[in-house]
Structure 1
């Protein structure tokens, strides 16, 4: 019983770290992986560096995609595509009623 009291703060600290740091990060990684797998031709995307474009070609064997921008075509890794910014770009904007 005495040993349990000594380790209780460490156990509690581990539980808190798991619930507030590790678990949400794992959930976000799963969402990003699913987003990368669900990409298809014609999707409008934004890269993590801020490049806007439309997917022209997807390569599953080397995990890359070719996007078309106003400057031309670029070949990028799928991991370079920002999930949050791409979803924000594709959601319709609601107009305010006056």
Structure 2
């Protein structure tokens, strides 16, 4: 079970997005800093995770719609739960 989230950070006066994935036990799987928060950025982050850890059973995200297509493409058997309170 993976929990995926992103948060805005400022580095050198510029806005970046810190993407992070945490498993069910609270261990950090991966982090990635990107300039964008869109479907392409979500796909880049998820492809790194799937390559390193294999497909997840469950992916919990916030309600960012950019996650929908990459999860269907990279982990078609995973149960995607998009809920503000679960993440």
TM-score (norm 1): 0.22
- Write 1 or 2 for the structure with the bigger share of strand: 2
- Write 1 or 2 for the structure with the bigger share of helix: 1
TM-score (norm 2): 0.23
Structure number, greater radius of gyration = 1
